[in-house]
Amino acid sequence: MSRPEGVTEGADRPLLTFCDGATGERTELTATELGGWAARTAALLRDGCGLDVGDRAAVLLPAHWQTAAVLLGAWSIGVAVSFRPRATAGLPVLGPGADEPLDAVFASWARLDDWLENVPEGRHRFVLGLGDPRAEVPDGWRDFLPEVRRHGDAPPAYAAVHPSFAATPDGTSYHAWGELARHIADSLDLRPGDRLLVDAAEHEEPVKWLLAPLVAGASVVVCANLDPARRDALIAAEGVTKVL
């Protein structure tokens, strides 16, 4: 099992496990560990980039543990986040207000080529490897992991985000996203202690693979390149109780 640099063993149960059936990567994070990475991201955005409540970011990333850290970190300081993991011809990245400059953009190496021609303008742009070790960062972009590791993993003392604040640039509130996540969790009959298996290629919307398990008190196993022939073995090995 691999762990990201800076992550330590803890007494908490696993909250988010990311595995890749093609590379063999397996990264397991407890709630404390994931919270630490989210806190680092929040500090990067607030202290390093000067972002605050109401600022706007685009997260153009697949389901991954680093994506969870980016989303939770941004939301924790009130940044409205738009997410579209895949470039889609003819559709704007952000929907309403897409022509307005963004305050931050996050994109993966694997999909950056697709986005370079269409990605919205942003004051701060970060690229994430997600297992793709490229040497050169494109002009105008910064490598996320080295940047976020400059910041501590203690929860920052920032003002609380009100449920009525906009969680996405279209104005949808944190409360509304929470209600949607609760609806999805109920539809899956998720309960505290459940362990949900998610095929990363099939369910990239974070309200499904991240928020729904969180509101239910369940943990999640996000698997990229899931081999159908090994699915049952993975379910048994990870102690999975529900499958999305």
| CATH, residue 95 | 3.40.50.12780
User: pTM of the predicted model, to two decimals?
Assistant: 0.87
Per-residue pLDDT of the chain (244 residues; tens, 9 = 90+): 333 333 334 446 899 999 999 999 999 999 999 999 999 999 999 999 999 999 999 898 899 999 999 999 999 999 999 886 554 433 334 443 445 678 999 988 877 766 656 666 788 999 998 877 776 888 888 999 999 999 988 876 666 788 999 898 888 899 999 999 999 999 999 999 999 999 999 998 899 999 999 999 999 999 999 999 999 999 999 999 999 9
Q: Is residue 8 part of a domain?
A: no
Q: Is residue 171 part of a domain?
A: yes
Q: Is residue 4 part of a domain?
A: no
Q: What is the 3-state secondary structure (H, E, C) of the chain?
A: CECCCCCCCCCCCEEEEEEECCCCCEEEEEHHHHHHHHHHHHHHHHHHCCCCCCCEEEEECCCCHHHHHHHHHHHHCCCEEEECCCCCCCCCCCCCCCCCCEEEEEEEHHHHHHHCCCCCCEEEEEEECCCCCCCCCCCCCEEHHHHHCCCCCCCCCCCCCCCCCECCCCCCEHHHHHHHHHHHHHHCCCCCCCEEEEECCCCCCHHHHHHHHHHHCCEEEEEECCCHHHHHHHHHHHCCCEEC
Q: Is residue 1 part of a domain?
A: no
Q: Is residue 5 part of a domain?
A: no
State which residues form the domain around 175.
Answer: 14-243
Write down the pLDDT at residue 4: 38
Q: Is residue 3 part of a domain?
A: no
Write down the pLDDT at residue 85: 52
Q: Is residue 165 part of a domain?
A: yes
Task: Give the total number of structural domains in the chain.
Answer: 1
Write down the pLDDT at residue 68: 96
